[in-house]
Amino acid sequence: MKETDKLRVDFKQIVETNPDAILVINLEGKLFYANKILKKLLKLSEETLKNANIKDILTAESYRIAQKKIREKIKDKKPSKPYLLTAYDSTGREKIVEVYSTPLIFDGETRAIQVTARDVSAEHEAKEKLKSLSEHLGTVLDGIDESIVVIGEDYNIISHNQAFRRHVKGTRKNYVDRKCFEAIHGYEKPCEKCIVRDMFKTGSVQE
């Protein structure tokens, strides 16, 4: 076997065994190539993929995003940062995928786009549920007149209610990710007698 043929075989094996979906599209979005992970992810047959265009497997909004990314690749010829798209599988079920796209350049011009896509549907759903729960909890806490604040071991404020904002008498609407000693006392470093530090150190409630 020639060295070039061996490289082709090795490259194809790498692509086909990659845990992520890998596809190559032209500048109009038509699929040139897709590995077996994409076929499995979207439950698409080999025949369907032969004539597929990304507009056939993406939601309208995601297709607009994809078109914008293609235009960017033509212009700047640089790989993209990861972004999310929503695709449909053959049953009509939506899949949230994290996408990286890289221009394939020939003779100094972008001729095609290589796309790597990872199914993040489960993670996205979990984040949405957590966000909904957090918003619900925030509504409940805001109904309490006493000041409530959740502080992490790094002194960062994780969450708080409206009463806390009134307590610190600050102008900010949100103190999340601010240091507690800065938000509450206006200090530049932790308090000498810090109940947060002592609580994390001893594991018991401090008064």
* Tokens coding 11: 């490259």
Q: Is 77 exposed, middle or buried (0-12, 13-18, 19+ CB in 10 A)?
A: middle
Contact 110, 104 (CB under 8 A): yes
Percent of the residues in the chain that have a pLDDT greater than 70, as a whole number: 92
Q: How confident is the model at residue 134 (pLDDT cuts 50, 70, 90)?
A: confident
Say which residue, 158 or 96, is predicted with more confidence: 96
Contacts of 112 (CB under 8 A, 6+ apart): 24, 25, 26, 27, 32, 103, 104
Q: Which comes out higher in pLDDT, residue 29 or 130?
A: 29
Is it the case that residue 3 has pLDDT exceeding 80?
A: no
What is the band of 46 on the pLDDT scale with cuts at 50, 70, 90? confident
Structure confidence at residue 4 (pLDDT)? 45
Two structure tokens written together for 162: 């409206």
- Give dist(CA 185, CA 169) in Å, integer: 11
Do residues 39 and 33 touch, judged by C-beta distance below 8 A? Answer: no
The domains located in the chain, with CATH, are 3-121 (3.30.450.20), 139-202 (no CATH)
Average the pLDDT over 55-80 and give the result: 93
pLDDT of residue 7: 40
- Mean local confidence (pLDDT), 37-60: 88
pLDDT of residue 47: 83
